[in-house]
Structure 1
Amino acid sequence: MDKMRKALLSILTFAIIIAFSKANPIATEPHALESFKLNETHQNQGSCSYTVKIKTSCSSTRYTRDQISLSFGDAYGNQVYAPRLDDPSSRTFERCSTDTFEIYGPCTYRICYLYLYRNGYDGWKPDKVTVYGYNTKAVTFYYDTFIPNGIWYGFNLCNGAAVSEA
């Protein structure tokens, strides 16, 4: 009986280790935020450059003509806003593709929130969004869900939640 308990305990321990090693680094799911406000007073004070990579899911629509915007920032009120990242003529946001954008905005500390905004009728399902900045570690937000129309949708992990940093 003792050998069986040890074997079961070993299997359980191994299963827990595997589960945690493959767990999604962001503990929460993306959510709608109806009260999200853009901080438009600081948007033109762009002294920092960011590279944003957006991977569209392979289960998304083939392409989208929807208008896609992005906003991200830190816990100190520094916010970067990028209106209209979409460009259907350049095949932006096609299924199974990764698009890279250079965005300028205020300098941030650790990026802890990111929201996407979609306006249109086609639909769009991003897989993940990674932001690289000069003064901040790269951070990845995992979506893998269709973005609702007409509302900011994403993550706010500024209150101590885990974020995947590359």
Structure 2
Amino acid sequence: MIKAATFLLLLAFIFLTFADARRIILRLPQSQSHPHPLKSFKVNNATQKNAASCSYTVSIRTSCSSTTYTRDQISLAFGDAYGNQVYAPRLDDPYSRTFERCSTDTFEIYGPCTYQVCYLYLYRSGYDGWKPESVTVYGYYTKSVTFYYNTFIPGDIWYGFDFCNRVASASASS
């Protein structure tokens, strides 16, 4: 009986170790990259108006080293490698205590249906400052994806990640 229990514990340990290793390997490319400004980023309004509507859940975790709260205007844009883009012009609401330090805010956003989300940019306008830790996008037709910021967002510029070239080259090689 003790041998069987020990064997099961060993199997559970091995399984959990490999499951954690898989999770770490999947996160390595994003965790090694840093967000960057994108001066030429344009919101694609044509995609918003001419496409089928899908629902996305966006979860934004504000860092514990951020300002206590922000009154800044926060916008979000994300999309896929094929030009489908979802745009949320205003996520902030200072009256509802959105984006407080050490908090997670969840938003339901509607926009055109996308393939796998591979880029995400945030836009901040104001004087308070704000430091998101991470942004996770969940969609019905796509796998969830998390973008790790953990840095203050500069003002009046789109700031974020674009992994679309990695996605395109990975699917071309398979």
Q: TM-score, normalised by structure 1?
A: 0.82
Q: Quick one: distance in 2 between partners of 1:21 and 1:134? A: 24
* Cα deviations by residue, 1:108-159 (Å, 9 ceiling, x for unpaired): 0010000000000000000000000010000000000000000000000001
Counterpart for residue 36 of structure 1: 41
Between Structure 1 and Structure 2, the one with more helix by share is 2
Which residue does 1:78 correspond to in 2? Answer: 84
Counterpart residue number, 1:164: none
Matches within 5 A, 1:60-139: 60-139=66-145
| Deviation of the 1:25 alpha carbon | 4.6
Return the match for 1:53 from 52, 59, 71: 59
* Structure 2 unaligned residues grouped into runs of 5+: 1-20, 168-174
Contact persistence 1:82–1:103 (CA under 8 A): yes
Aligned mates of 1:42, 1:66 — CA distance in 2:
26
- Using structure 2 for the length normalisation, give the TM-score: 0.78
Partners of 1:33 and 1:84 in 2: how far apart?
Answer: 19
What do you get for the CA RMSD once the two structures are aligned? 1.7
Give identity over the alignment, percent: 73
Local SS of the residue matching 1:43: helix
Q: CA deviation at 1:42?
A: 2.0
Q: What whole-Å deviation, never above 9, does each CA across 1:13-36 have from its counterpart, x for those lacking one?
A: xxxxx8x94864503110000000
Assess if the C-alpha contact under 8 Å between 1:46 and 1:104 holds in 2.
Answer: no
